[in-house]
Amino acid sequence: MRLVLFGPPGAGKGTQAAAVKEKFGIPHISTGAMLREAIAAATPVGVRAKTLVESGSLVPDEMVGEIVAERLARHDARKGFLLDGFPRTLRQAGILDVVLKARREALDAVVKLNLGDEEVVRRLSGRRTCAGCGAPCHVEFSPPKVEGICNACGGELRQRDDDSEATIRRRLTVYREQTEPLAAHYASKGLLREIDGTGPVDDVKARVLAALGGR
C-alpha cells in the first residue's frame, strides 16, 4: 500500500495513521520526521536543510522532494508507505509524482479525513497541557477534576498559543486555500477516499480501513 493521508488540523490524522501502519505493516512517514532524520543522519540534502532550518528559513519544496525520495529509498518502505504532511499543495503533489515515477511506483490511494470547522475548533481549543509535568487533557473530552488544575501533579493547566480559536481559524483558512485542492486533483486520478472524521476514534478507524480494504 502506497498512501497519502491529509485533512484539516485536529482531524485525527496521527491516530488514524497509526491504525493504518499497524494494519498494513507500512511505515508512517511524516514531513517533520523525514526532515529531522535527514538532518540527524547528515545526508547530503540533510546538511543543506540543516543550514536553512538553523537560519530560520523555510525548506523549499524541491528540497523536501529530495528528502522524500531519500526516505522512500529505505528498506522499510519497499512494500509501501503512508505519507502524512506531504504533499500539502498541488505543487508538492507534482513533485511527489516525479519522485514516484523515478521509482517506477504509483500511489494506491489518497485518504482525506473530513471534519467541519466548528468541530475542529471544538477539538483543538479545548486542549490543555500541564505547566508542571506536561500531561495533556481536554476541557470536554477528558476534563480535570478541578478546573485549571492537572489531575496528575496539581500543576497549572495552560492553553498553547496555537490552540486559540483565532489561530485555529487562520490555520483552517490556510488549509482550505492550499491543501484542500488536493482532493479534486486526486479524485481526477481515481485515488481519493473521503472519510467522515466525526465520531469516536474506533468508528473513524473502521471507516478508514474499510475504504482501503478493497485495494
Catalytic residues: 13, 88, 127, 160, 171
Residue 147 to residue 157: CA distance in whole angstroms: 8
Largest CA distance in the chain: 57
215's CB contacts (< 8 A; 6+ apart) are 1, 108, 109
Q: Is 73 exposed, middle or buried (0-12, 13-18, 19+ CB in 10 A)?
A: exposed
User: Which 3 state secondary structure label does DSSP give 84?
Assistant: strand
Looking at residue 8, the DSSP 8-state letter turns out to be S
Element of type H or E holding 95: helix 90-102
Looking at residue 142, the DSSP 8-state letter turns out to be B
The dihedral over CA atoms of 79, 105, 34, 126, expressed in degrees to the nearest 10, equals -80
Residue 138 to residue 52: CA distance in whole angstroms: 35
